[in-house]
Amino acid sequence: MAARSEVLQEWPHFSKEAPRLFAAPGRVNLIGEHTDYNDGFVLPMAIDRRTVVAAAPRQDRKIRVHSRNFNETVLLDLENPGSGCRGVWWDYVEGMAQVLLERGLKLPGADLLLASDVPIGAGLSSSASLEISVGLALWSLSGQPPDMRQLALAGQAAEHRYAGNRCGIMDQFIAAFGRPGNALLIDCRSLDVRLVPMALPGVQVVVCDTRVKHALSSSEYNVRRAECEQGVRQLQESMPELKMLRDIGWKQFLEVADQLPEPVRRRCRHVVGENARTLSAVDALGRGDLGEIRRLMGESHRSLRDDYQVSCPELDLLVEIAGTAEGVYGSRMTGGGFGGCTVNLVETGHLDAFRETISRTYSRKTGIEPGIHVTSPSGGAAEFS
Ligand code: ADP
Ligand code: MG
């Protein structure tokens, strides 16, 4: 593995101690978009790209961390943390260490050397793979057995407080709990997780990267969250028991949708429909029903584009091109939107043609060469033995 050998090669130049090696993957969400902060369902899988951390304890209270990706070393003080939210990559490392300390772990100082082959800033959650790999390393050096659930929650807290991103729980949970050959159904209310076998013989998961990120993404994210909350408040007038959009089924929603003004109505329609689609996709995966999966992914994309309005021309173009290619069982935007990636299910025999069509047409129309990653459902965070 690229990141692992890179870290092993560099370590002797970094520290004299023998390192322990840890890793955590990036992820792609198959379906269930913008449902997490509405207490709903998501269905991500870990990808075969990961952040690898080599780690050894130090005698003092410092964390010396080097990122190969940024080619930068910083020295952090466990007793005197910085302010966080500075827009620097080590906010995530310091955040992880501080949250684990607050939760009572006795962390030693540490030398950390890390490298990642998760594309950074592409919506494949390099940030959670960084948090969880570093968190697992620090927790393990403390001598206590890591609790993966607590580790994932600590990663989310670090991202909220030290990176200033009010993310849901999906990225950290899949980085912690991914399993080869499986997707993970996460109930974002109860935090129950269920492995969902991805038994689709002859079908590959292909991630296509628009290589654009529009500035709108974080401001619009907050607007969408507020619109969902407004929808709940208005629906509570006739449904006092309602707490979150998660609590309404599709049929029930159709009966009350008229009470909502636009654009709140269409925002809520997306969330309610997407929760239902996610559960239907789990059933369809169980039956190996590729036709149904294609239908659900198509509906998910249209709903994100037209009702939730978080897509962009580049994402729509990738989905449109995929729709003209042969052997494609579903294509949709994945992640928060306004750029980032699409997720596609492609028959193995049509992979080369798919790659060719996407690359040629997308670059002709946008002037940008798309990223194309064939991946497979992979394992979650672990120490290398
Ligand atoms: P995504 O999670 O979709 O890749 P984010 O903007 O959430 O995008 O996270 C990217 C940020 O995470 C980077 O700008 C950097 O601060 C941090 N990061 C991710 N991977 C690494 C790495 N290997 N080394 C240092 N920082 C990293
Ligand atoms: Mg991220």
Residue 285 lies in a domain: no
Residue 379 lies in a domain: no
What are 95-140's pLDDT values in tens digits? 999 999 999 999 999 999 999 999 999 999 999 999 999 999 999 9
What mean pLDDT do residues 190-213 have? Answer: 96
How far are the Cα atoms of 63, 85, 162 from residue 156, in angstroms, in the given order?
Answer: 21, 14, 10
Atom of ligand 1 nearest to the CA of 115: 23
Residue 337 lies in a domain: no
Residue 272 lies in a domain: no
How far is 182 from 256, CA to CA, in rounded Å? Answer: 37
Atom of ligand 1 nearest to the CA of 165: 7
Residue 295 lies in a domain: no
SS3 per-residue string spanning 173-220? HHHHHCCCCEEEEEECCCCCEEEEECCCCCEEEEEEEEEEECCHHHHH
How far is 337 from 123, CA to CA, in rounded Å? Answer: 8
Residue 111 lies in a domain: yes
Residue 173 lies in a domain: yes
Q: How far is the CA of 126 from the centre of ligand 1 (A)?
A: 5
Residues in Cβ contact with 380 at an 8 Å cutoff, skipping those fewer than 6 apart = 24, 25, 46, 148, 174, 175, 176, 177, 178, 179
pLDDT at residue 269 in the model:
98
What are 27-51's pLDDT values in tens digits? 999 999 999 999 999 999 999 999 9
How far is 123 from 209, CA to CA, in rounded Å? Answer: 9
Residue whose CB lies within 8 A of the most ligand 1 atoms, among 69, 89, 338, for a mutation test? 89
Residue whose CB lies within 8 A of the most ligand 1 atoms, among 127, 217, 341, for a mutation test? 127
Please say whether the beta carbons of 295 and 321 come within 8 A: no
How far is 69 from 86, CA to CA, in rounded Å? Answer: 18
The pTM assigned to this predicted structure is 0.96
How far is 170 from 53, CA to CA, in rounded Å? Answer: 22
Ligand 1 proximity of 123 Cβ (cutoff 6 Å): yes
Binned at pLDDT 50, 70 and 90, residue 70 comes out as very high
The more confident residue out of 71 and 1 is: 71
Binned at pLDDT 50, 70 and 90, residue 2 comes out as confident
Total H helices, total E strands in the chain: 11, 12
Q: Is the pLDDT of residue 200 over 70?
A: yes
Binned at pLDDT 50, 70 and 90, residue 1 comes out as low
What mean pLDDT do residues 236-245 have? Answer: 96
> What count of other Cβ atoms lies within 10 Å of the Cβ of residue 118?
25
Range(s) of the domain holding residue 116: 2-25+45-178
Please say whether the beta carbons of 141 and 110 come within 8 A: yes
Number of domains in the chain: 1
Please report the DSSP string for 24-61 in residue order.
EEEEEEEE--S-GGGT-EEEEEEEEEEEEEEEEEESSS
What mean pLDDT do residues 307-320 have? Answer: 98
Domain holding 161: CATH number?
3.30.230.10
Torsion on CA atoms 160, 19, 122, 266, rounded to nearest 10: -40
* Mean per-residue pLDDT of the chain: 97
Residue 9 lies in a domain: yes
Q: DSSP state, 303? A: I
Ligand 1 proximity of 127 Cβ (cutoff 6 Å): yes
